[in-house]
Homo-oligomer: A and B are copies of this chain.
């Protein structure tokens, strides 16, 4: 069996976890050939964990130029995702990027532009798309069986983090180090799934609270209102401050309803579409006939290694990715729109004004509490890729 020859850029939490999957045999078409990390302690930790036959590099570009690898996994801090993905693409290497696609859509757009001009496979680590529950929801909505979107409400408040989490790195939850809080660190998956299943809204107004429940400068409490092109509305609520939160997604459609909660999906189909029912019933208090659908899923939820295996299949045999790299910009657009709306205290239209967003972000980066300013910070974060 032929295998792709992968180089991992960054062996922090996520990078190590990917290496472990490969080591444990979950990715039969991937050979872990090389690891790059500027932090020598991390390299030593990998060696201690038994990754002896891997080539190590302190410099990611040197790894890319080594001829050892044909593909990279970018698992470094958000701000640098685009930079290293672009570097790899330009060198003809296939690229898998950890979420989010970047901190601001300008970055993601540049990355997408380079991808368009190159022949490499470009994937995004949206591992939640492998979850059979969300795949089923996507299928139900996309098939048109339940009609057009009416309302989507996602309450994803089970991202609880105590203060200790934020105190575990000086870059964490800072404008300069991460570029955002719960929206950028915890929620890229949900924002991607939201746009994947329901499409992107056209207008967003979001209410963000910064350091409401923690001693941090970025948002840890979000309530966002969304309007879609067809008049549908939505609400997205998230926080890292609710000690025992909720993960409940409800999608109301013209001809049905889907509820995902507690790891289960339920769906109902109406006897006719609501607009037709409303127009034709003669009973002022009529209720629509509905039946609960017997939902069968394949039960698969391969998460990270499923994304990686699809990446290998795409490179080796042209099979579909779990998430195309180019789609990473959508969830980021939604996240950027929420930040911009909160900063400007106004409703914003999508696609957002990317320059305005960037300028507003930089204002915050420049006064970020992590005082050793942006230049030093970039050096600092690169020190942990």
Contacts and interface: CB of A to CB of B under 8 A. Distances in A.
Contact of A207 (B161, B233, B284, B285): B233
A16 to B, nearest CB: 15
A288 interface: yes
B225 A290 contact: no
B250 A235 contact: no
Contacts of A279: 162-163
Interface string A14-30: 00000000000000000
Interface in A131-153: 150-151, 153
Given A278-B214, A282-B164, A252 B257 contact: no
Given A274-B243, A277-B243, A153 B288 contact: no
A362 interface: no
Q: State the main secondary structure of chain A at its contact with B.
A: mixed
Interface in A243-289: 243-246, 248, 250, 252, 257, 259, 268, 270, 274-275, 277-279, 281-288
B286 A164 contact: yes
Interface in A213-231: 213-214, 221, 223, 225, 227, 231
A205 interface: yes
Given A205-B205, A284-B168, A151 B239 contact: yes
On chain A, which size bracket covers the interface?
Answer: 35 or more
Assembly stoichiometry (copies): 2
A250 B247 CA distance: 12
A96 interface: no
A242 interface: yes
Contacts of A248: 248
A176 to B, nearest CB: 20
A160 interface: yes
Interface string A85-99: 000000000000000
B237 A150 contact: no
A246 B251 CA distance: 11
Contacts of A257: 242, 244
A209 interface: yes
A223 to B, nearest CB: 5
Contacts of A287: 160
A155 interface: yes
A274 B245 CA distance: 12
A157 interface: yes
A178 B233 CA distance: 25
Contact of A270 (B237, B244, B274): B244
Contacts of A205: 205, 207
A162 to B, nearest CB: 4
Given A151-B237, A165-B284, A241-B274, 10 more contacts: A162-B284, A164-B282, A164-B286, A213-B274, A214-B278, A235-B237, A242-B257, A243-B270, A244-B257, A248-B248
26 contacts: A151-B157, A151-B239, A151-B242, A153-B155, A162-B277, A162-B279, A162-B286, A163-B279, A164-B283, A164-B286, A207-B233, A209-B233, A213-B274, A221-B233, A223-B235, A235-B235, A235-B237, A241-B274, A242-B252, A242-B257, A242-B274, A243-B270, A243-B277, A244-B257, A244-B290, A245-B252
Interface of A: 150-151, 153, 155, 157, 160-165, 167-168, 205, 207, 209, 212-214, 221, 223, 225, 227, 231, 233, 235, 237, 239, 241-246, 248, 250, 252, 257, 259, 268, 270, 274-275, 277-279, 281-288, 290, 345, 347
